[in-house]
Structure 1
Amino acid sequence: MMYDNGLAELLECDGFPDDKDIESCKRKLLEVFSEVQVNSMVEAVLESREKDKESNINEIDEEQDQSLEPNVNEGKESAASSVTSKIALAIVCILVVVVVNMVVRLNIKMANDLKQNTVSESEYDDNQIVGCIVHAGEYTYINQNGVVIETSTNEIYDDVLCIYGVHVESVQTGYKLNTEDATVLNDILTVLQLINKYDMQFDRVRYEFGFVLYRNGIRIIMGNIDGFEFKLRHLGAILSELEGKKGNLDMSQYNESNCNVIFKVNKEE
């Protein structure tokens, strides 16, 4: 492999490696490993070469003190031992880097898996009920993400706002409510959030290709989700003027440029 050759160049070159040898080694190693890993590995090899250099100097000094006559056989054995040590060191360095690389990749994979699991499970962490979808005689209680928390054939919580008229495909506790149109569920969750934001009370809500709110005998036609918050923000003041009356309040066309509303009193009144 290229990075094998790169390490070999540093370990087997005559004398201490120069800058050219070091850069050549790094280029080959970078084809496989990261820059941080390459720098660590090269530093380890250079440090080893520096120690070998010091050791060789000490050995030479000792040999000169003992005898001035060269021993050819000992020199060959020493050279062979040095090459063997360098090869062994190269193999160890390669193995260490490979293992470190595998551990880093494994840690990254585990972190990504944990992140994915956290994201996928986050919508199940909140068991606070924000609304109830009534369909086919069944009450389905959902959290702020539309996940089903509880189901019943009877109304369990009288303080939870109920929404009627939603076409439900399937219901499974712990999973997001499956509606015929996914955008409808998102709009319902937005409406529930806004009602809670402005701390308003309603008897019930019906979805009829738009939202209709019911409160104290008044049927409030809000229309679709567009401009819903603006209408809701002004609805309190309008209802205070209609206190004690019953009828239909049409706010479907109510917006910043058209602040007119239509209220029709029930005939029985």
Structure 2
Amino acid sequence: MVRILLLSPVLILLPGCGAETYEQRLQETAQYFAYVDSRNQALSGSWTSPTITMRVPIEFRQMEDPKVSAVAASADESESPAPEPVPTIDPRQPDYADLVLPGLEGAWRAEVPVDLENEATERPAYLYVLSNQSLLKEKQKEQALKFFNTVNNQIATTFDQFLNTEDFKSEQYPKGKGYSNPKSFTVGTFEPETPIDGVPYQFQIYLTESGNRQVVILLVLPKNIARGSKLLEQMGYSLETVEFVKSSSSQSPSKSANF
């Protein structure tokens, strides 16, 4: 009888402990699916370049790659040598500054709300993916390893302004508790003293590396972006999705459906 009395509290407690664990797991599952839903609503489908895959903020619209034009030889002129392809000007390059971005693999544009002194309006924001892939492919290893510095120097020279990379910090995305493996980036900010279209802008610079491969993700946006914009929150989700492609074989940038 004593044994039964001693064991009975344990028997009574066991169902309670099991219910508490079950409830905790239900909450964890609900939080996970809420996170997945928030991320899916914040991001477009998967995009792939020769170097990385990622999902960009849903507000952005991808700019078209430059087309290569050539005059095709007619059947009657089949013996004539075919003309060399003539590349057109890359429409993805910035048109708001005399800036040529090296290793450009993808570019996007979005209209974002901006708070000016006397009015609320919209201004463009831009997202660029740059890579040293072509330098590595051409076996220019020394230049490839200096790619990040080259990008920063291009930006600083364009605006005739010092860019202090010593202020850059190491960050991980997701920053807090997340449900994906954290991705490491070197992160810095550059603020041109010269306004763009009458509005002060800032460059958010993100570097991620894998071996000798370097990818710079460049977010260019107005400084006084309206508080209602979710672009920066979306960008955090986007950086979580960055993955280097395993194969270095060339493949054209593409878009696919959300997942």
- TM-score normalised by length of structure 2: 0.26
| Structure 1 or 2: more strand by fraction | 2
Higher radius of gyration, 1 or 2: 1
- TM-score normalised by length of structure 1: 0.25
